[in-house]
């Protein structure tokens, strides 16, 4: 049996047929969604005798940290959640769960579950996993410690009664790369606190290189962000840049394992090796070199997150990257981007670096023109907005809805079939410096302006599912059964939003676009480089 057993709930080990954004299916309401939907969409990662061949990147980092700090390879295992019992025995001292959204309190889940009033799949599957592990503990009379860490660990600290009921011994919050060995030995010795909050962050040289393949070939290129958005935990962390050599080693490890993809993970890919901490103008050469290095190992290179302001400030950088990764009509680059709100007042109050090197007053213009830069170069931005930001007003929310309408219309006028983006409204969750604020509960709190924001976001999403999904799923055989279901699903959701609005007394009304124009071709910012010619 194994000394330290890592595992995670099975919503995090599903590949969801490699459909973009379907990873969020775990946030859907378990009590409202037909059970067959999850069964059909669920495709689990492979394992070898119960050991995961691929695992989430954050879990791989903790595994590597233990192996670097004196734990033997035969003492540490990352187990598939459906087969974890076979690794737990008398020699087991710690069973550690890596979790993203264990109680369904994340922004996407809170949006889909009416502010947490319904159970979502991550909550159900997390509880099922814990109960199975506790059943092994009781049946075999074992005294291992049950530990929960990962990005969602804060939820267990918030809901301590439920945590005690589930017999979870320790919760670890924070980056553990530099302290994992000592921390796990303290847990084994019984000297660790029940809630372990790790203060500070590891230096770059203290972050270990993964020793086993990461899920989907994810590779971290930087930690933290530095833009300092007040509602975002990662943005408040000190930015640290992973050296190219270390990034290459991890990509090569994944490629050797048969993963022909490199997802370059950061909070903002365009801030890699940034030197301008005042205006956040990208270090274009460093970002382009990052993609060029990754492209040496696989033709499939994608970023995870970025900012629209950086793309607009450095359009030559976007064009150069598109050339490196062979972006085109049959190969779109997906990226998740924070839209948040169209209101300059709220952007300036809570996210006063997000729009840099531009000003808060330019934010709606930045979103329109930055999306033009993305689309022109075959990038497909998936935007997220926030419902219920403190200080929000109906005027601000209607302005957000109008900006969605404006972007749809103006981009199609200028780019035709190349115009693509989505906007997904999320519920405000009090995190970061806004931790003391109230969770947003859509059923109780929605206003008319928020309803229009929600409706026009979903209306555009329905349009993109019909027009854009085939572009993203080109070559994926699951497109054939999934596409009709997705088209039907978004239309049903849109009709339900309309009916729900009527029950609230809210009618959908046409919205005039904002007085904004696409001006990228008429302006050059901050001394553009010659990157396009160079690459």
Please indicate, yes or no, if residue 248 is contained in any of the structural domains. yes
Q: Which residue has the tokens 């460093």?
A: 286
Whether residues 74 and 152 share a domain: the answer is: yes
Task: Say how far apart CA 485 and CA 465 lie, in whole Å.
Answer: 10
Q: How many structural domains does the chain have?
A: 2
Task: Say how far apart CA 336 and CA 460 lie, in whole Å.
Answer: 16
Among the candidates 197, 227, 255, a domain finishes at 197
For Cα atoms 414, 417, 422, give the angle at the middle one, nearest 5 degrees: 90
Whether residues 228 and 287 share a domain: the answer is: yes
Write the burial class of residue 329 (CB in 10 Å: 0-12 exposed, 13-18 middle, 19+ buried): exposed
Provide the 8-state DSSP code for 215.
G
Q: What is the pLDDT of residue 18?
A: 81
Note down the domain range covering 373: 204-504
Residues 6 or more apart from 265 whose CB is under 8 A from it? Answer: 57, 218, 219, 220, 221, 304, 305
Three-class DSSP category at 153? coil
Element (DSSP H or E) covering residue 449: helix 448-467
Whether residues 312 and 416 share a domain: the answer is: yes
Whether residues 263 and 320 share a domain: the answer is: yes
Element (DSSP H or E) covering residue 132: helix 121-140
Please indicate, yes or no, if residue 522 is contained in any of the structural domains. no
Task: Say how far apart CA 154 and CA 428 lie, in whole Å.
Answer: 16
Please indicate, yes or no, if residue 516 is contained in any of the structural domains. no
Residue pair 57/219 in contact by the 8 Å Cβ criterion: yes
Please indicate, yes or no, if residue 470 is contained in any of the structural domains. yes
Q: What is the pLDDT of residues 216-274, one digit of tens each?
A: 999 999 998 877 665 556 555 678 999 999 999 999 999 999 999 999 999 999 999 99
Query: Alpha-carbon dihedral of residues 20, 26, 29, 31, nearest 10 degrees?
Result: 130
Task: Say how far apart CA 214 and CA 58 lie, in whole Å.
Answer: 9
Task: Say how far apart CA 452 and CA 509 lie, in whole Å.
Answer: 8
Cis omega (within 30 of 0) for bond into 470: no
- What tens-digit pLDDT sequence spans the chain (535 residues)? 699 999 999 999 999 888 766 788 888 888 888 888 888 889 999 999 999 999 999 999 999 999 999 999 999 999 999 999 999 999 999 999 999 999 998 888 887 787 778 899 999 999 999 999 999 999 999 999 999 999 999 999 989 999 999 999 999 999 999 999 999 999 999 999 999 999 889 999 999 999 999 999 999 999 988 776 655 565 556 789 999 999 999 999 999 999 999 999 999 999 999 999 899 999 999 999 999 999 999 999 999 999 999 999 999 999 999 999 999 998 999 999 999 999 999 999 988 889 999 999 999 999 999 999 999 999 999 999 999 898 999 999 999 999 999 999 999 999 999 999 999 999 887 655 556 677 777 778 899 999 999 999 999 988 998 776 666 666 666 655 666 666 767 777 788 889 889 989 999 999 999 999 999 765 444 444 445 444 4
Please indicate, yes or no, if residue 346 is contained in any of the structural domains. yes
Whether residues 227 and 161 share a domain: the answer is: no
Whether residues 208 and 110 share a domain: the answer is: no
Residues 6 or more apart from 522 whose CB is under 8 A from it? Answer: none
Q: What is the pLDDT of residue 228?
A: 65
Residue 477: alpha-carbon gap to chain centroid: 25
Please indicate, yes or no, if residue 524 is contained in any of the structural domains. no
Whether residues 209 and 231 share a domain: the answer is: yes
Residues 6 or more apart from 389 whose CB is under 8 A from it? Answer: 231, 340, 341, 346, 350, 428
Task: Say how far apart CA 520 and CA 481 lie, in whole Å.
Answer: 39
Residues 6 or more apart from 484 whose CB is under 8 A from it? Answer: none
């Amino acid at each position: 049996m194994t000394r330290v057993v890592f595992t995670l709930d099975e919503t995090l080990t599903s590949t969801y047929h490699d459909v973009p954004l379907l990873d969020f299916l775990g946030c859907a309401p378990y009590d409202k969604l037909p059970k067959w939907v999850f069964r059909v969409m669920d495709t689990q990662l492979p394992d070898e005798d119960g050991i995961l061949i691929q695992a989430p990147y954050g879990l791989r980092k903790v595994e590597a940290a233990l192996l670097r700090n004196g734990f033997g390879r035969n003492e540490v295992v990352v187990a598939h959640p459906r087969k974890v019992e076979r690794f737990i025995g008398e020699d087991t001292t710690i069973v550690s769960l890596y979790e993203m959204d264990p109680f369904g309190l994340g922004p996407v889940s809170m949006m889909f579950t009416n502010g947490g009033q319904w159970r979502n799949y991550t909550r159900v599957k997390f509880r099922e996993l814990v109960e199975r592990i506790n059943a092994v503990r009781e049946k075999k009379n074992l005294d291992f410690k049950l530990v929960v860490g990962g990005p969602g660990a804060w939820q267990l600290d918030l809901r301590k009664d439920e945590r005690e009921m589930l017999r979870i011994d320790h919760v670890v919050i924070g980056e553990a790369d530099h302290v994992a060995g000592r921390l796990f030995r303290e847990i084994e010795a019984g000297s660790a606190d029940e809630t372990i909050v790790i203060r500070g962050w590891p230096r770059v040289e203290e972050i270990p290189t993964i020793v086993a393949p990461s899920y989907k070939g994810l590779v971290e290129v930087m930690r933290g962000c530095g833009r300092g958005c007040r509602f975002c935990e990662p943005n408040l962390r000190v930015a640290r840049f992973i050296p190219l050599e270390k990034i290459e080693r991890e990509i090569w490890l994944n490629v050797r394992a048969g993963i022909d993809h490199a997802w370059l993970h950061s909070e903002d890919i365009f801030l890699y090796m940034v030197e301008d901490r005042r205006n956040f103008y990208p270090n274009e050469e460093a970002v382009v070199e990052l993609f060029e290095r990754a492209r040496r190992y696989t033709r499939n290179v994608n970023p995870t997150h970025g900012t629209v302001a950086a793309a607009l400030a450095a359009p030559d950088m976007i064009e150069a990257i598109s050339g490196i990764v062979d972006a085109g009509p049959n190969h779109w680059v997906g990226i998740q981007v924070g839209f948040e709100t169209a209101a300059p007042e709220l952007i300036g109050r809570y996210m006063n670096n997000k729009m840099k090197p531009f000003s808060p007053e330019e934010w709606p213009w930045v979103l329109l023109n930055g999306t033009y830069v993305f689309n022109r170069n075959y990038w497909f931005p998936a935007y997220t907005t926030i419902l219920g930001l403190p200080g929000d007003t109906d005027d601000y929310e209607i302005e957000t809805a109008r900006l969605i309408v404006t972007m749809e219309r103006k981009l199609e006028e200028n780019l035709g079939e190349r115009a693509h983006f989505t906007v997904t409204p999320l519920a405000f969750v009090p995190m970061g410096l806004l931790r003391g604020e109230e969770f947003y509960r859509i059923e109780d709190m929605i206003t008319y302006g928020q309803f229009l924001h929600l409706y026009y976001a979903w209306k555009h999403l329905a349009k993109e599912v019909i027009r854009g999904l085939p572009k993203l799923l080109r070559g994926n055989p699951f497109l054939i059964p999934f596409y009709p279901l997705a088209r039907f699903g978004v239309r049903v959701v849109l009709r339900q939003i309309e009916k729900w609005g009527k029950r609230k007394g809210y009618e959908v009304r046409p919205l005039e676009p904002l007085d904004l124009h696409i001006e990228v071709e008429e302006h050059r910012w901050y001394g553009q480089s010659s990157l396009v010619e160079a690459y």
